[in-house]
Amino acid sequence: MFERHRARLLAVAYRMLGRTGDAEDVVQDAWLRWSLTDVAGVADPEAYLVRIATRLAIDRLRSAQARHESYVGPWLPEPMLTSRDVAEDVALADSVSTALLLVLEALSPIERAVFVLREAFGYPYGEIAQIVGRTEATARQTARHAREHVEARHTRYNTDQATRAVVTERFLDAATGGDLRALMSVLAPDVELVSDGGGLAPAPRRAIHGLELVARALATFAGRMPPEPSVELVSLNGGPGIVIRSGQAPVVAITLHLVDGLVKTIHLVSNPEKLTGLRQG
């Protein structure tokens, strides 16, 4: 019975935590609690398990906030491989977008839980209230505050997957070919490059802004490819993405966010601890 709901638990935990490893740990801890439960007395296993996983994720979020304060350089969510089904569902794809997950970092753990359960999974407020241990009125109020926060800070990027795929390929060709002019042609004038190396891989300690600075930073990066490099176009966080490997090991994951058909934001993750979920085999 637990296996029937594993995918849902992992989906909830990842959207709350932004790290696949932490999400998997939450699911494992939920399994341990489930294994000690008299399941015959559980009327609604899914609701019961989601409540356990959500509360475990809330606890992890509270401890993670302190870790983020001492993090070296910009913090980005851990890239996650996603299926074509996710990419074709606009709402579902947006719910795992690194851009949205980054905005959710500013919410309190309870606000994030309520937002995820309501906006990504459509749980009714009464059930959300039981999951997070609040009244239904409080759950509604929390959801409204969280939604207002997200809408005020979340840039509405292009969601057309065909356009995103074409631009991602053009970006990749220009960057790997060292064609600075072609690279600049796909970037917005106010493009931003955010790199997450976590102090464990070379990466700018601050976001880079502006067409020329970002283009030159990318050209420099492309000139420092790892040994035995290979480049793969994949579906990352609900949309087209790029994974660069050295042999079999992933060393960089890149997701592009578009506005009006041009790259507005680039998220580049090189922290090796955040790339383990992209390993082949």
In the chain the domains, ranked by start, together with CATH numbers, are 2-70+98-153 (1.20.140), 161-278 (3.10.450.50)
What was the pLDDT predicted at 63?
Answer: 82
Mean pLDDT of 227-253: 93
The token pair at 229 is 């490099």
Classified as helix, coil or strand, 255 is strand
Q: What span, in angstroms and rounded, lies between the C-alpha atoms of 258 and 241?
A: 12
Q: What span, in angstroms and rounded, lies between the C-alpha atoms of 203 and 45?
A: 44
pLDDT at residue 192 tops 60? yes
**Which burial class, exposed, middle or buried, applies to 105 when counting CB atoms under 10 A from its CB (0-12, 13-18, 19+)?**
middle
User: What's at 14, amino acid-wise?
Assistant: Y
pLDDT at residue 182 tops 70? yes
Mean pLDDT of 165-191: 94
What was the pLDDT predicted at 88?
Answer: 67
Largest Cα–Cα separation, the chain: 65
User: Which range, of 81-90, 98-107, 130-139, 246-255, averages the lowest pLDDT?
Assistant: 81-90
**Which residues does 134 contact at the CB level (< 8 Å), separation at least 6?**
110, 142
pLDDT at residue 281 tops 60? no
| Residue carrying structure tokens 């082949």 | 280
For all residues of the chain together, what is the average pLDDT?
Answer: 92
Mean pLDDT of 132-138: 97
Contact 123, 117 (CB under 8 A): yes
- Considering the chain, what percentage of its residues have pLDDT values greater than 70? 96
Number of Cβ within 10 Å of residue 177's Cβ equals 11
Label residue 95 by pLDDT band (50, 70, 90): confident
Label residue 54 by pLDDT band (50, 70, 90): very high
Contact 50, 8 (CB under 8 A): yes
The token pair at 42 is 């559980």
pLDDT at residue 20 tops 70? yes
Q: What span, in angstroms and rounded, lies between the C-alpha atoms of 227 and 15?
A: 33
